[in-house]
Amino acid sequence: MSCKVTITRDHEGRRLDRTIRSIWPALPLSAIMRGLRRGDVRLDAVRVRDGGTRVSAGQELFVPWEDPAEETHRVRARGTVPVIWRGENALVIDKPANLLVQPDVKDGDSVVSRVWAMFGAGGLGFSPAAVHRLDRNTTGVLIVALSGEGLRGLELLFKERRVDKRYLAVVAGETPPEGIVDAPLAKDETGNIVRVEGDGKTARTRYRRLAAGEGLSLVSIELLTGRTHQARVHMAHIGHPILGDRKYGDIGANRLWRAEARRPLLHARELIFPKDLSGPLSELAGKTFRADLPADMRAIIAKQGWPENAR
């Protein structure tokens, strides 16, 4: 089983591994890496083992997987995702809990495969691609690129930290009114655990308490950097872990609220885009996208008697 596709302008200058993942959204990263290691991937008949190799429009890509068009009938059987907004170059969705952004097994369920099934590929050369990540059980606003130009522009925008990412979370204990957590983070790839370590990558989180009581707080969280598990680890670091978090959380609080908190109660509330955007991103200029709170967080707020405007 093999396939040949021609790289389109949508992928000009992109990394090879990301190009492959965009064309074959149902293919797990492990399969892509295995194909590269074995020398099963070629560009213009030359074997390529480095996923970071940049591709060019017009190149012929040979891979050991089936034609991406053949995968369509499988991913169409998956569910859908709620759409907040759709433009020409980007799609904003409200990600539900217990759903990966990218598939972790072949033909696995994910945001990307659902979006691909809902809207199709932009021609053989490009399929919808997630611009940033949310953990499997984090809900809320997520943006997906619908074109190569949109993807390149959005990746640069996020890299330059020009998009404000704001979250809401229910945490253990009563937090200070507000604060900034400035603690470097390092990831243990083996155990998928992130720790505060002096030689880790710079990580900064701003938080503000919106309401408190009964041993819990509702906080607004702004990620000033974008590290893996950043909000979860930083809140745990200051002694106020996110309720329901089995990896970094408080065992006692999780046990007390186990009926209401079956996941980490972290919600990507808003994405705020700058006003000075042009070209393919002009449709996003000055826009704020907001996702309503999921039912489990609304239930906690109601049970606590916190005011509606605390949301």
Q: Domain segments of the chain: what residues?
A: 3-159, 164-310
- Contact criterion met (CB below 8 Å) for 16 and 52: yes
Sign of CA dihedral 35, 36, 41, 47: negative
- CA angle (120 as vertex; 118, 125 as ends), nearest 5: 155
Cα(216)–Cα(250) distance, integer angstroms = 12
Strands (E) across 8-51 are located at 42-43, 46-47
Q: Is the alpha carbon torsion for 165, 109, 30, 121 positive or negative?
A: negative
How far apart CA 308 and CA 256 sit, in angstroms, is 24
135 is catalytic: yes
- Classify domain 164-310 at the CATH superfamily level: Pseudouridine synthase (3.30.2350.10)
CB 167 within 8 A of CB 266: yes
Helix axes 16-23, 29-37, angle to 10 degrees: 130
Identified catalytic residue from 10, 17, 94, 135:
135
Residues of the chain with pLDDT under 50: 72-77, 122-124
Identify the pLDDT of residue 124.
43
Which runs of E-coded beta strand occur in the chain?
A: 3-6, 42-43, 46-47, 60-63, 83-86, 90-95, 129-130, 139-145, 164-172, 178-182, 185-188, 193-196, 204-213, 216-223, 266-272, 288-290
Residue 36: phi, psi to the nearest 5? -65, -45
**Residue 201 pLDDT:** 96
pLDDT, residue 123, reads: 46
Specify whether the CB–CB gap between 210 and 220 falls below 8 A: yes
pLDDT value at residue 308: 60
Pull the structure tokens for residue 220: 């607004």
Strand arrangement, sheet containing 60-63: 3-6, 60-63, 42-43, 46-47
Q: What fold does the segment set 3-159 form as a domain?
A: 3.10.290
Radius of gyration of the chain (CA): 21
Q: Cβ-count burial of 240 within 10 angstroms (0-12 exposed, 13-18 middle, 19+ buried)?
A: buried
